[in-house]
Amino acid sequence: MIHRRWPTPDEFKAFKQEVTALRKNFPLDVCEKINQEKDAHPMEKLIEGLTLVGIKRGRYTTGTPKYLEGVKELVAWTPLLCSAAVSGKTPGIPGEYRTYGQILAAEMGLGQDEARFLDQFAVIHADHGGGNLSTFIAKAAGSGYVDLWFTIAAGMIGLYGERHGKANQNSLAQLLEFQERIKKEGISVDDLVKETFDKGAAMFGFGHAVLRQEDPRAKIFYNLADQLMPDSDLYQLAKELRVKWPKFVNEVANPTREKEGKSLIQNPYPNVDQLSGAVLWELGFRDPRTFTVLFALGRMPCIGAQVYHEAEERVPIYRPSYPYGGGINPLPDGDALKALMP
């Protein structure tokens, strides 16, 4: 994304060597600082770490920032900072080139299959446009020419929010609740589907603001889960919902809503969040709060590349349209206005 093209084999080899060298300069004391507060949310640790790195760099406060240098550091240091936020430990600096997944897996005591999954997880969650909240916030901050690490911290504050980066946690929580009720109450998946609709509750991990079919990223997750955890009860439940919720919506829910004059559910199919949290859970990530950091793992360098390109292209400072809707209450006058005067 930095150069907007695939590298040649020689370029890729040189880039890996550059990344390995840059990692030796990573400020490990930042990891020690962010993990001093043991109960802090992993995303709070990540945001604090990004800010501390920006303070340490302490440059590019005037003129056009040298974002290319910052993006290369971001590519090199992202897995180290994310690993510290997830594991609560200061990571080791690898002496040879390691992928994001390999670095994180080593800190978490996971194997090579899990490392490959984490690499694929990062790619699947890499930024895919400028309209989502975290990317927009970061690019808006970058348009003011602030150091790259502060722009990424701004974007991650947006990702941390309840409505942006928590979708797969909600999906996992619902799957675990369903699993518990099936075991304790003997309730069927069909009944859980109907009950969810009758309550007007959300079936988390289904639907998409743009897509009107199953999210292709969800299909990738199903293929990965087939390889990593084919016998997982949680995965089997997710697979069953993958079939039964869309079927119920198309055959029962939407006809019912149409009769009631309500809008139809446009996309009842799984999105990327339906299974991603469950796979992480089964891999041993038992603190769902870390899921957002893993989301950020793939997203941060890609956002950094966009900030760099927009600075190079001299994109004007962001100024969203903000049309005036007219006054709701009249302005005070006469005695009311005098009462407000000092």
Q: Is 41 a catalytic residue?
A: no
Active site includes 128?
no
Token representation of residue 54: 């920006």
- Whether 164 is catalytic is yes
- Judge contact between 69 and 311, C-beta under 8 A: no
Single-letter amino acid code for the residue at 283: L
Cβ neighbours around 179 below 10 Å, total: 16
Catalytic position from the list 119, 147, 215, 273: 273
Hey, what are 146's tokens?
Answer: 């602030």
CA 75 to each of CA 168, 279, 287: distance values in angstroms, whole numbers, following the listed order: 25, 25, 25
Q: Which of 331, 185, 193, 202 is nearest to 273 (CA)?
A: 202
DSSP 257-304: HHHTTPPP-S--SB-THHHHHHHHHHHT---GGGHHHHHHHHHHHHHH
Dig out the tokens for 322 from the structure.
Answer: 């903000």
Q: Which amino acid is at 92?
A: G
Q: Which two tokens stand for residue 85?
A: 């936020």
From the candidates 10, 208, 233, 335, give the one annotated as an active-site residue.
208
Residue 63, phi then psi, degrees to nearest 5 = 75, -170
Instruction: Indicate the Cα dihedral angle 24, 303, 135, 322, nearest 10°.
Output: 120
Catalytic (active-site) positions: 164, 208, 273
